[in-house]
Amino acid sequence: MMIADDPARWLAPTPTVDYEHPLVRAFVDAHDVPAASARERAVALYYAVRDRVRYDPYAIDLSTAGLSASHALATGRGWCVTKAALLAACCRAIGVPARLGYADVRNHLSTARLRELMQTDEFRWHGYTALELDGRWVKATPAFNVELCERFGLHPLEFDGREDSLYHAYDRAGRQHMEYLRYRGEFADVPVAAIRADFASFYGHMLDSLGGGDFHAEAARERA
């Protein structure tokens, strides 16, 4: 659901923010720093989600289970929507309120195969996580793991829990990278039906062709 005045919704488990799942619990236990402040704990979990789950835009499963935090951990890879759900699940598990935010973006840097499949550089329903830390909401984007950033020549997105962490407009060489086109709002759970309907309309030509790619290898070849 969209933002409402019930703060309990930002801490509750949902079908996609499934922090009661054993895989999510184990991931939190492995990367949390319980003795630290809430902000420091959220930052530690951000980096764990960013770098320990491989970003893969070919790993799109639009079922409720396929869009869940536990699915990203079960497969070891995810895209912006599932990695945002995983960060939200981790943070809710330690008592940090978390929302799921979405925006449409224009990504100027991708691989030739992905561009050919998508036939557009507009990425709809790009996912990020909004966290309530020290009395204010900040945005965090754990999608691109640091290895992928190195292969693409991108600045890795850092997060300190104080300022928004959103994609850079330019890469290290000064080329255009990410352009935010429109925000879609922030939700308690992944809006599965809305994403599925929009993807069918906008990307229906490619959804059956996503499997089989290796985005990291493609990025490395093109960078070379």
Average pLDDT, the chain: 91
Question: Looking at residue 210, what is its pLDDT?
Answer: 64
Q: How far apart are CA 178 and CA 169, in angstroms?
A: 5
**pLDDT for 49 beyond 60:** yes
Paired strand residues for 186: 101
Question: Looking at residue 93, what is its pLDDT?
Answer: 98
**pLDDT for 171 beyond 90:** no
Query: Which tens digits make up the pLDDT trace of 32-47?
Result: 999 999 999 999 999 9
Min mean pLDDT across 98-112, 121-135, 195-209 is at 195-209
**pLDDT for 1 beyond 50:** no
Question: Looking at residue 161, what is its pLDDT?
Answer: 98
Average confidence (pLDDT) over 160-185: 92
DSSP letters spanning the chain: -B--S-GGGGTS--SSS-TTSHHHHHHHHHH--TTS-HHHHHHHHHHHHHHHSEE-TT----STGGGSHHHHHHHTEE-HHHHHHHHHHHHHHTT--EEEEEEEEEES---HHHHHHHSSSEEEEEEEEEEEETTEEEEE---S-HHHHHHHTPPP----SSS-----SB-TTS-B-EEEEEEEEEESS--HHHHHHHHHHHHTTTGGG-TT--HHHHHHHHH-
Q: Which residues contact 126 (CB under 8 A, 6 or more apart)?
A: 80, 81, 102, 103, 104, 105
Domains belonging to the chain, first-starting first, are 7-223 (3.10.620)
Average confidence (pLDDT) over 151-174: 92
Query: Which tens digits make up the pLDDT trace of 15-30?
Result: 999 999 999 999 999 9
Residue 217: both structure tokens together: 């290898």
Instruction: Tell me the pTM.
Output: 0.92
**pLDDT for 4 beyond 60:** no
